[in-house]
Chains A and B, each alone.
Chain A
Amino acid sequence: MKKFLVLFTALAALWTAPAYAALQVDVTQGNAQPLPIAIPDFLGDPQVGANVAGVVRADLERSGLFRPLDPHGFAEHVTNINAVPNFGSWRAITAQGLVTGQVTQQPDGRLRVDFRLWDVFGQSQMLGLQFFTTPENWRRIAHMVSDAIYERITGEKGYFDTRIVFISESGPAIKRVKRLAIMDEDGANPIFLTRGDYMVLTPRFNPTAQMIAYMSYIGGKPRVYLFDIETGKQERLGDFPNMTFSPRFSPDGNQVALTLETGGNSDIYVMDLRSRAMHRLTTDPGIDTAPSFSPDGKQIVFESDRGGGQQIYLMNVDGSGQRRISFGPGANGTPVWSPRGDLIAFTRRQGVQFSIGVMRSDGSGERIITNGGRDEGPTWAPNGRVLMFGREAPGGRGSSIWSVDVTGRNERRVLTPGSASDPAWSPLIQ
Chain B
Amino acid sequence: MPGSTPAYATHRSWGERLRLFGPALVRFVRSKPLGAVGGLIVIVMFLVAVFAPWLAPYSPEEFIDGGSARLHPPSWDYPMGTDNLGRDILSRVIYGAQLSMLVGLLSTLFGTGLGALVALFSTYAGGRWDLIVQRLMDILWSFPSLIIAVVIIAVLGRSTSNLVVAIGIVVIPSTARVVRSTVLAVKETEYVQAARAAGASHLRIIFRHVAPNCVAPYIVIATASLGGAIITEASLSFLGLGVPPPAPSWGRDLFGSAQKFAELAPWMPIMPGIAISVTVYGFNLFGDAIRDLLDPRLRGSR
- A, B bound: no
